[in-house]
Structure 1
Amino acid sequence: MTFLILGSLTVRNAKHETIHIQRLKHRQLLATLLLRANTPTSIEHLMESLWDGTPPPSAERNINTYVHTLRKLLSPDDLRSTPIETQADGYLIAIEPEDLDLLTFQTRVRQGRQASRVRDLDTAYHYFEQALGLWRGEALLNSRGSQSLDDAAAHLSAEHLASLEELSEIRLSLGRYAEAASGLRAAALANPTHERLWAQLMLSLYGAGDRAAALRAYQRFRKVVAEETGLEPCQPIQDLHQRILASGSVFDLRLPAKSIHLVEAAPYDPVPRQLPRDPADFVGRGEELVQLRSLLSPPNGRLPHHVVAITGPPGSGKSTLAVRTAHLVRDRFPGGQLYANLHGATPGIRRLEPLEVLGRFLRALGVAPHTVPSDVDEAAALWRSLLDGRDVLVVLDDVVDLAQVRPLLSVPKGSTILLTSRQTFALVDNCVHVRISRMSQTEAATMLARLAGAERVARDVRATTRLVGLCGNLPLAVGIAGARLANRPQWEVADLVERLEDERRRLHELEAGDLAVSSSLAVSYDLFLGGAHPLDRTAAHALCALGVLQVPDVTSHIIGALLDVPVDMAERAMERLVDGHLAEVDETGRYRLHDLVRLFAGEQAVRQQTRAARSATLDRALSSYVATTRLAVKLSGYRRPAPTEVDLSADPAPLTSEDEACEWLEQELANLLSAASQAMAAPEERTARLGAALALSLFWHLQRSGLPSRLLAINRQVLGVGQRLGDRNIQAYAHGYMSMALSMTGHREEALAHVQEELALFRELSDPHGEQIALGSLGEIHLLLGRYEEAIGYAEAQRRVAKTIGYRPGEHYAATTIGAARHKLRQFDQALKVLGDALTQTREDGNLYQETAVHEKLGDIHLDLGDPASARICYETALTCAHVAKLSIAEPYMLLGLARSSRLLGEFDQAAVYLARSVATARATGTEELKNGLAEEEAVLAAHGRPITALTGS
């Protein structure tokens, strides 16, 4: 039985099942006994602990009842085996040191101090790491409520803090500066006047190469000390501050009674600068800017507000105001500025999910992409940890509702969330709303004058007032009108007013909100369409074309495909739209439309083009996407896409290398999935076929990247298209790809049904290549289901068909399945023979994908044969192959095998590291079927004193 009190009081039985102790008094009694484990505890002490010295008359009888209840909970089958013993005047809990985390903690601390005294710092580091890894939060968190237990918890917290200081000292002495800083941040903030902690934090930050952060830490400490005591920091810390100020990158600093030598080091974490370009022509919103600056950059050194929401109707300038404000206060946030457009109100574009936004931000803060958690709560916890001790401004633009951003809002003090939305955020704690609607008449006129020229605007005040009114006093509409006047210097303001007055129906809608912006956009569009320069008319056509394609952003190559014009002309046309404030462009040359402009573009496409013309426009873009995707797949070394009957009318983008291809697939993935989904929903057969071809072409990229949820969702649509068109080839591949996605997430019975459909369809089509693929999938799924004889039967059938058609990869796949199944049947010699032959063949054919799997299966056999050294060599080779083949989905299995091999070789610390990496990559790739294996290995390692739960964060 295991007892844990370094966190919430938790009890686990021999089966590692949690024993639930519901009543507080029962937990308090057990906690009191555990604090004095193996020592008799008197009834008087128990009364003091449970009732703060004022026990009820029935206290002793109550305690006896509580003890009886605890014994039944702890030993339900045999009360004689209970660890709670009756003593002369009280009770005692008899427990082995390794079965109580407090005793283990104290032992490890004692061992660490002994090693530290003889300067064996590596050993000391090891013991203190183990000791602190036992803590799961505040001690006795669910058992407090009496003064005695509160005091005990405070004492344990002091022990924890002292141990952290000692570990930090060792980390600094060993040169582990970034690691020391990471461990010290939260503790220093929780103990704002603790001199030793803050001195160590300053040293660790400096040693990690972040001199500015070290100086900021001193200023924060000095401010708190002055506010709470009226004094300056102690002289040693002042001296340390001066040494950092005066030093270069190498120096020797001394703390009281300690000597620490710092060496030159690179900064340990990135500082993101993601804000869009500062809107230089920004005018108006003076009151709002003053309010926002006071919230985000308060005077007198006060902390910025937690969450600030800019809310208002569409077209009111929320996003521009947010970006302008962020630039004005960016110096207040030296930890960086993060930005994301969440597409909450973008017509036709899927809004971002919380996990996607967290993933972007975590990667920007230095988290490796494959280690970003796939669980939103875990990602949010890592998000909070990385922001701790930083001062970061986070701009969340176009938020649809609270649910979309809730996991991101709980940021540590010093950081701020600035968001824009049409919705109110009244339910968010400590959120200040800055509500905006229309600009004032003066501000709108000033904006118009800035764009069109002050002299021209002043010549006709009445026309200016009328024009602003027709624009609804909305910044978007006023900005477009001003830009058009600027592009037509021969016009007076009244000329543009007259054009707007002609749109009487639209003028009525102009006063209604959203349609007001559409009316203003129509003026801008008409000016382009009727422009004297051909490029203006091309720009108008580009806007219409973008209303047909529903993707987040596009490159010039796709614009060229949409318009059927050369790429350079497409780029020039888009730049004209950017100049006219109808499109936006980022530094990577990707163009996007404001959500309201996109809606307007879609309406214009319907008005200006027939359905057939719109379909042809979409098909050209889809053809370009399919052609480029197939080229990228080929350059990336993936298997060839599923064959689909579709004629392509566009050339691929100019990709020439594997690196370019991989980068293109990553950057375009959201666009490709969105375009494929839109196309497959279209009624036109060619469009739907292009969408299916695009989705099928993405299979290997999605599969190897470990994206099963996206893989499953898009192939459900593919299956629907295949059924609607009566195309059995498309249906067969969709069934097969869905089965793989379901198998990746552990839904094997459902996967089995799909692959059986796949086999039947390929046999109907007399397609032996597809038939052997389905047979191979059936063998693999039966292997995973533990039906080993059936797995061998299907794999043998695959091998026969593959050999008949001369398809060597199919033979390799079948051999791997047969070898693995023979292993599971304990037929080791046969398994080794089959897999050995398969390894030779895969190497001869250069089939790195299948070679990875063969090495893994050989490693599994060597483990079962009691040869962990050979197993480790196999898993290491498999992991190398997986890296080269970009098989992210396979990495968790190899790492788990390495963890088991290292553990059997007695290398428990190395095993713990491999297991932690396996857990992280499994989460990142959605490999849920590994859960049982990971839990089993974690339990075994934990039995050897390795706190794997703390390592993995599970």
Structure 2
Amino acid sequence: MESQFAALLRRHRTAAGFTQDELAAAAKLSVQAISTLERGTRRYPQPATVDALADALGLDPDQRAALISAASRRGKTAAAHSNQSTPPAAASPRQLPFVSGDFTGRVQELSALAEYLTSGSGVHVVAITGMGGIGKTSLAIHAAHQLADHYKDGQLYLDLRGFGIGPPLDPLDALTYLLEDLGETPSADLTVATGRLRTALAGRRLVLLLDNASDQEQVRHLLPGMGGCAVIVTSRRSLAGLGGRQFHLGEPPLDEAVAMLRRISERPDAPEAECAEVVRQCGGLPLAIRMAGARLASRPNWPVAHLAERLADGRRRLDELQLDDSGVRATLVLSIEQLAGSDDPVDVQAVTMFALLGLSDCVDLTSALAAALSNSPEPEAVVVLERLVDVHLLNTPGPGRYRLHDLVRVAARELAEQMLTEEDRAEAKTRWIKRLSAVVWKASEYIGHGVTREGWLQPEWLEGADDLTSQDDVLLWLDVQRSNLTPTLQQAVVDHPEHAVQLAVGLNAYYALRRAWLEWLQANEAVLRLATEGDDRIAEGLVLHDLGAAHAELGNYEQAVDPLRRAIVAAEASGDGNLQALCLSSLSHVLERTGRIAAGIPYAERAREIGLRLGIPPRAAWACLALGMLYLKTDAAEDARRLFNEALELLVDPGQERFRGMVAQNIGVAYREAGQYDVAAEALRESLELYRAAGAAISQAEALNELGRLCLAQGRYEEAVEYQSEGLAIAGQYGDWLCEADIRQSLGEVRRAQGLLAEARREWRIALSIHEQHNTHAAGPLRALLNSA
């Protein structure tokens, strides 16, 4: 155990803001002498040395006496005490460190701390926790200074060294320092020392600032038992079990962060946009902003925008935010080293997990992702993730979801490169991609691959998803991971191109079910180069088709034409007739939507011919449907009816009721758009009956919604409401939020037609909230609808 003099000297030097070199110069001693004293190699310096140090540090009489006492441990203290005829006067310590002149903002936090620490009676304990560099100590010191008038018996400050070089301060040593600073006699027994401290504090009103605690156990013995003291504890680790009030400190608001940067950089008029970009690159972390401001202050000819450009390079961002041996990297390393040196195996596992998380580009770091990266069971991964949350290397925006601060992510990547081999990193990423691909293809299997995808699928791609035993399980899993799908795919294009196309093609079914058209578009754009430059023409055709289909679903019909034409060429080269017919049908639909009816007919005719020749009824039926819709727009009503009937007659085999219902529904919509309401009603009622026969509940809700839209077009508003209310009940029963949003939007249109604008806006607001919650492209048009109504 280090000497009390060494620890006390280091604490006073740190509180005064001196380096060892600066203290040596002020005390007119050698740097080696200061280093020797702080290491404890020289435990009992001469009185003249102690006086010189006390003068240089500006210690008050009580602090000077405590330092002298610690320097005369061999018996001089005991002798001095034995010669005293009266007990020493109670000390009134004033130990708070200097208040930084660049402290900015935190107005709400300071107000909340002051309100809590000055209200009522008794002991007030507050724990300020957060990641390294977030400004816990600065806030605590500032708050303690503001409380000086309320707590007139002084302020004690003690660095518990929970996260730093060397071991955390032992509770008994901490008690010794505090008792000496209060003019009390220490004890070598922890229980006795704890009691003496509580006795000493019971009759006083002072602020006790316990900085940089390692955990709550280190702090428990240092808390007053009664009286009117305030205790402020700071720590990177959660102290929820300590009692009192917990303050989790996050990033300051942008305006406060910009003001801090301007003040530290000595550029009060620096452009706000450029300052905001520097703050963004710093992740809003006060320590990083302070480093950035200091760098600008020392380089007065640098524009703020230049530093922002340098910080934009993630590979050297931490280098830019480092000054000497202090900075963001050094601060984060202390948290990691504290975990690595722990006796708790979960802490040690957390270090490896932290490095593995740095391998991922995903914003939401779910427990499933962590389990795959670490090759561990998901419940075990959750325990380790929560430990990283406890030490504020991770934050958790919601249950099962975790995030890395931008600068912490950079540190995690650096750690991954240092402690994991290239092979280990590649294997971890591959495990996640394979897991994701297996679940995606299992979803496709439940929903229906389609003939081409099923033939292209390799059985081993489904391996690794056996724990998800139902369609609901699979879809729920993917819903949780949804924000990770595109980043993982984009990362796979670079790291594992052999898996990227496989994953993108498999995503078709899930994205189509969730109508995530923009994400579907991004997925296929990400792998387009791989697919077109590879040797697999089926893969190329599928990616190009899905790219065109995504554009079409987003209403970008002109942009859909070129990829669909290229998809037809790839399909022909592959020899897959089904894929060729699919692409031909899709192109004919897009051309029909752009008004190029005559140009679309030959493509639909070719698709029909291929489907009939290959004996694939669904493909031929879909082509007949597309061709009939084209003819309907050329006023060739009889040809359209013939083709619609042919499409339905191709789907008479048992098990095809749902697909036949889809064809009938599309026929009904086409006739409604053409203004042939009686024929439309007949087709839509037929689709409803077919869906009921197939047990397709959500499809029934969709057909009911289309019947409601038909009634709206006919001016039969009450019937429309009946149909859509029935559909809404089904959607709610089965939890299909997209179907519910669609029906509510349609119901709002009916209410507006009835003159019930308030009810219409209510339905649209609910629909908008659903789309916003699930991040669909339909949110924009709904906002516009609400703004115009």
Query: Which residue is 1:870 aligned to?
Result: 682
Distance 1:508 1:688 in 2: 31
Counterpart pick for 1:620 among 391, 411, 431 = 431
Distance 1:533 1:557 in 2: 23
Correspondence list, 1:334-373, <5 A: none
Assess if the C-alpha contact under 8 Å between 1:559 and 1:570 holds in 2.
yes
Query: Which residue is 2:479 aligned to?
Result: 666
Assess if the C-alpha contact under 8 Å between 2:238 and 2:390 holds in 1.
no
Assess if the C-alpha contact under 8 Å between 1:448 and 1:482 holds in 2.
no
Distance 1:445 1:847 in 2: 76
Distance 2:499 2:113 in 1: 50
Describe the shift of the 1:855–1:600 C-alpha distance in structure 2 as closer, same or farther (beyond 3 A).
Answer: same
Query: Which residue is 1:710 aligned to?
Result: 519
Query: Which residue is 1:899 aligned to?
Result: 709
Distance 2:515 2:726 in 1: 15
* Shift in Å, 1:480: 4.0
Query: Which residue is 2:333 aligned to?
Result: 522
Distance 2:348 2:107 in 1: 40
Distance 1:314 1:535 in 2: 19
Describe the shift of the 1:806–1:688 C-alpha distance in structure 2 as closer, same or farther (beyond 3 A).
Answer: same
* Shift in Å, 1:909: 4.7
Correspondence list, 1:109-128, <5 A: none
* Shift in Å, 1:739: 0.9
Query: Which residue is 2:13 aligned to?
Result: none
Give the 3-state SS of the residue equivalent to 2:359 in structure 1.
Answer: coil
Distance 2:627 2:593 in 1: 12
Describe the shift of the 1:887–1:774 C-alpha distance in structure 2 as closer, same or farther (beyond 3 A).
Answer: farther
Determine if the alignment matches structure 1 residue 291 to structure 2 residue 111.
yes
**Which letter does structure 2 place at the counterpart of 1:784?**
R
Give the 3-state SS of the residue equivalent to 1:654 in structure 2.
Answer: coil
Assess if the C-alpha contact under 8 Å between 2:629 and 2:640 holds in 1.
yes
Query: Which residue is 1:744 aligned to?
Result: 553
Assess if the C-alpha contact under 8 Å between 1:802 and 1:811 holds in 2.
yes
Counterpart pick for 2:542 among 733, 742, 759 = 733
* Shift in Å, 1:666: 1.6
Counterpart pick for 1:457 among 153, 167, 174 = 174
Assess if the C-alpha contact under 8 Å between 1:798 and 1:814 holds in 2.
yes
* Shift in Å, 1:551: 1.6
**Which letter does structure 2 place at the counterpart of 1:779?**
S
Query: Which residue is 1:479 aligned to?
Result: 235
**Which letter does structure 1 place at the counterpart of 2:685?**
I
Assess if the C-alpha contact under 8 Å between 2:359 and 2:429 holds in 1.
yes
Correspondence list, 1:244-643, <5 A: 288-289=108-109, 291-292=111-112, 315=132, 317=134, 445=158, 454-459=171-176, 479-480=235-236, 512=323, 516-529=327-340, 535-584=346-395, 588-636=399-447, 639=450, 643=456
Give the 3-state SS of the residue equivalent to 1:698 in structure 2.
Answer: helix
Describe the shift of the 1:873–1:558 C-alpha distance in structure 2 as closer, same or farther (beyond 3 A).
Answer: same
Describe the shift of the 1:562–1:649 C-alpha distance in structure 2 as closer, same or farther (beyond 3 A).
Answer: farther
Assess if the C-alpha contact under 8 Å between 1:842 and 1:848 holds in 2.
no
Unpaired segments ≥5 residues, structure 1: 1-284, 300-311, 322-433, 471-476, 487-505
Assess if the C-alpha contact under 8 Å between 2:660 and 2:690 holds in 1.
no
* Shift in Å, 1:718: 1.6
* Shift in Å, 1:795: 2.4
* Shift in Å, 1:621: 0.9
**Which letter does structure 2 place at the counterpart of 1:822?**
Y
Query: Which residue is 1:414 aligned to?
Result: none
* Shift in Å, 1:699: 1.9
Give the 3-state SS of the residue equivalent to 2:235 in structure 1.
Answer: helix
**Which letter does structure 2 place at the counterpart of 1:735?**
L
Q: TM-score, normalized by length of structure 2?
A: 0.52
Give the 3-state SS of the residue equivalent to 1:652 in structure 2.
Answer: coil
Give the 3-state SS of the residue equivalent to 2:327 in structure 1.
Answer: helix
* Shift in Å, 1:766: 2.3
**Which letter does structure 2 place at the counterpart of 1:777?**
S
Distance 1:848 1:460 in 2: 79
* Shift in Å, 1:728: 4.2
Describe the shift of the 1:794–1:286 C-alpha distance in structure 2 as closer, same or farther (beyond 3 A).
Answer: closer
Q: TM-score, normalized by length of structure 1?
A: 0.44
Say which is worse superposed, 848-857 or 438-447, in terms of deviation: 438-447
Assess if the C-alpha contact under 8 Å between 1:828 and 1:861 holds in 2.
no
* Shift in Å, 1:809: 2.5
**Which letter does structure 1 place at the counterpart of 2:334?**
V
Query: Which residue is 2:585 aligned to?
Result: 776
Distance 1:887 1:518 in 2: 55
Determine if the alignment matches structure 1 residue 675 to structure 2 residue 484.
no
Query: Which residue is 1:754 aligned to?
Result: 563
Query: Which residue is 1:268 aligned to?
Result: none
Describe the shift of the 1:645–1:874 C-alpha distance in structure 2 as closer, same or farther (beyond 3 A).
Answer: closer
Distance 2:649 2:156 in 1: 76
Correspondence list, 1:800-819, <5 A: 800-819=609-628
Describe the shift of the 1:768–1:583 C-alpha distance in structure 2 as closer, same or farther (beyond 3 A).
Answer: same
Describe the shift of the 1:941–1:647 C-alpha distance in structure 2 as closer, same or farther (beyond 3 A).
Answer: closer
Assess if the C-alpha contact under 8 Å between 2:362 and 2:484 holds in 1.
yes
* Shift in Å, 1:820: 2.2
Describe the shift of the 1:439–1:702 C-alpha distance in structure 2 as closer, same or farther (beyond 3 A).
Answer: farther
Query: Which residue is 1:763 aligned to?
Result: 572
User: 1:501-553 deviations in whole A, cap 9, x for unaligned?
Assistant: xxxxx999997599734323323323444556665543322211111012233
* Shift in Å, 1:617: 1.8
Distance 1:588 1:520 in 2: 28
Assess if the C-alpha contact under 8 Å between 1:510 and 1:517 holds in 2.
yes
Distance 2:550 2:425 in 1: 34
Query: Which residue is 1:127 aligned to?
Result: none
The alignment-based identity, stated in percent, is 21
Assess if the C-alpha contact under 8 Å between 1:743 and 1:781 holds in 2.
yes
**Which letter does structure 1 place at the counterpart of 2:528?**
L
Describe the shift of the 1:612–1:881 C-alpha distance in structure 2 as closer, same or farther (beyond 3 A).
Answer: farther
Query: Which residue is 2:269 aligned to?
Result: none
How many residue pairs align between the two structures?
504
Describe the shift of the 1:949–1:756 C-alpha distance in structure 2 as closer, same or farther (beyond 3 A).
Answer: farther
User: 1:571-593 deviations in whole A, cap 9, x for unaligned?
Assistant: 44435434544345577444444
Describe the shift of the 1:460–1:637 C-alpha distance in structure 2 as closer, same or farther (beyond 3 A).
Answer: farther
* Shift in Å, 1:759: 0.7
Unpaired segments ≥5 residues, structure 2: 1-104, 120-128, 146-154, 181-207, 215-232, 243-316, 732-736, 765-785
Describe the shift of the 1:877–1:704 C-alpha distance in structure 2 as closer, same or farther (beyond 3 A).
Answer: farther
**Which letter does structure 2 place at the counterpart of 1:898?**
G
Distance 2:756 2:437 in 1: 50
Computing the radius of gyration from Cα coordinates, the structure with the larger value is 2
* Shift in Å, 1:727: 5.2
Assess if the C-alpha contact under 8 Å between 2:604 and 2:623 holds in 1.
yes
Query: Which residue is 1:651 aligned to?
Result: 464
Assess if the C-alpha contact under 8 Å between 1:672 and 1:694 holds in 2.
no
Give the 3-state SS of the residue equivalent to 1:826 in structure 2.
Answer: coil
Distance 2:386 2:751 in 1: 61
Counterpart pick for 1:697 among 506, 525, 535 = 506
**Which letter does structure 2 place at the counterpart of 1:678?**
Q
User: 1:648-700 deviations in whole A, cap 9, x for unaligned?
Assistant: 597126211122222222221111222112222x2x4xx12323322322222
* Shift in Å, 1:286: 11
* Shift in Å, 1:885: 7.5
Counterpart pick for 1:795 among 600, 604, 619 = 604
Assess if the C-alpha contact under 8 Å between 2:358 and 2:410 holds in 1.
yes
